Structure 1
Amino acid sequence: MGVVDRKEREKVEMKRQILDAARRLFLEQGFEKTSIRNIAEVIEYSAGTIYLYFKDKNEILFALHVEAFGALTQAMQAGIISKTDPFERLVALGKHYLKYAFENPELYDLMFVMTAPIETLECREEIWCDGERAFDTLKFVVEDCMKAGYFAGEDSESISVMMWSLVHGLATLHLRRRTMIFPEERRIKILENAYAKFTEMIHNYKK
Structure 2
Amino acid sequence: MGIQERKTRHKEDLRKRILEAAKKLFVTAGYEATSIRKIAQEIEFSPTTIYLYYKDKSDIIYALHQEGFSMLRQDFQPLMEVESPFERLKAIGKCYLRFGLKHPDFYEVMFMMKDPMHYLQIHCVDGAWEEGERVFDFLLQTVRDCQEVGYFKGLDTVQVAVQAWSSVHGLCSLYVSGHLRNMMEVILNNDEQEAMVEKAFRVFVHYLESTK
TM-score by length of 1: 0.94
Q: CA deviation at 1:205?
A: 1.1
Q: 1:184: which partner in 2?
A: 191
Q: CA deviation at 1:83?
A: 2.2
Segments ≥4 residues shifted beyond 4 Å = none
Q: Is the contact between residue 18 and residue 43 of structure 1 (CA under 8 Å) also seen in structure 2?
A: yes
How many residues in Structure 1 have an aligned counterpart in Structure 2?
Answer: 204
1:16 and 2:22 correspond: no
Q: CA deviation at 1:77?
A: 2.5
Q: Is the contact between residue 73 and residue 134 of structure 1 (CA under 8 Å) also seen in structure 2?
A: yes
Q: 1:27: which partner in 2?
A: 27
What is the alpha-carbon distance in structure 2 between the residues aligned to residue 30 and residue 134 of structure 1?
26
Deviations 1:51-99 (A, max 9, x none): 1111211111111100000001111233x24422110000010000000
Q: 2:161: which partner in 1?
A: 160
Q: How high is the sequence identity, in percent, across the aligned residues?
A: 42
Q: CA deviation at 1:146?
A: 0.6
Q: Is the contact between residue 152 and residue 205 of structure 1 (CA under 8 Å) also seen in structure 2?
A: yes
* Residue identity opposite 2:66 in structure 1: V
What is the alpha-carbon distance in structure 1 between the residues aligned to residue 48 and residue 22 of structure 2?
15
Q: CA deviation at 1:123?
A: 2.0
Q: 2:187: which partner in 1?
A: none
1:104-115 to 2 correspondences below 5 Å: 104-115=103-114
What is the alpha-carbon distance in structure 1 between the residues aligned to residue 180 and residue 22 of structure 2?
28
What is the alpha-carbon distance in structure 1 between the residues aligned to residue 96 and residue 164 of structure 2?
11
* Residue identity opposite 1:59 in structure 2: D
User: Where do 5+ consecutive residues of structure 1 fail to align?
Assistant: none
Q: 1:148: which partner in 2?
A: 149
1:108-123 to 2 correspondences below 5 Å: 108-123=107-122
Q: CA deviation at 1:100?
A: 0.4
1:1-207 to 2 correspondences below 5 Å: 1-78=1-78, 80-125=79-124, 126-180=127-181, 181-182=183-184, 183-185=190-192, 187-206=193-212
Deviations 1:118-153 (A, max 9, x none): 111112253333222211110011011011111111
* Residue identity opposite 2:91 in structure 1: A
What is the alpha-carbon distance in structure 2 between the residues aligned to residue 32 and residue 115 of structure 1?
11
* Residue identity opposite 2:200 in structure 1: A
User: Where do 5+ consecutive residues of structure 2 fail to align?
Assistant: 185-189
Q: Is the contact between residue 68 and residue 111 of structure 1 (CA under 8 Å) also seen in structure 2?
A: yes
What is the alpha-carbon distance in structure 1 between the residues aligned to residue 175 and residue 61 of structure 2?
24
Q: Which moved more, 1:123-132 or 1:91-100?
A: 123-132
* Residue identity opposite 2:64 in structure 1: L
